[in-house]
Amino acid sequence: MSLGDVAVRSMASLSADDVSALVQAATDAAKAASDAVTALREAQASRASGGGFQEASKVVRQPEPFGSENHEDDLSKWQDFNVNFKAWFYYGNPKFELDLQS
């Protein structure tokens, strides 16, 4: 008896509910694969075009580099930098908002 014969006999012993469950599982797997491919294409297109950060720089001023040799000056400028950076960063990619909330 070949492996194919065993598979046919196994499939013949499945109930209608079993076949339905297998078809549903295959459909769900195909949908998940399709969604993953779509997400990958969107991510690649976003990276290739510069993503939302180019758009963010058109709407929110990109923050200037932060830091100097004067600690007191850095302390006084931190709040403005922090607010500006987060506004630009969140506009560029809203997914980072949860990561940076504190």
Residues 6+ apart with CB under 8 A from 59: 91
Q: Is the pTM of this model over 0.75?
A: no
Please give the chain's pLDDT, 102 residues, in tens.
Answer: 665 565 556 666 888 888 888 889 989 989 998 988 888 787 766 655 556 777 788 888 888 888 889 999 999 999 999 999 888 888 888 888 888 776
Tokens of 61: 């001023």
- Coil vs helix vs strand at 27: helix
Among candidate residues 55, 49, 57, 46, the one with its CA nearest the CA of residue 84: 57
Tokens of 91: 């506009």
Residues 6+ apart with CB under 8 A from 46: 52
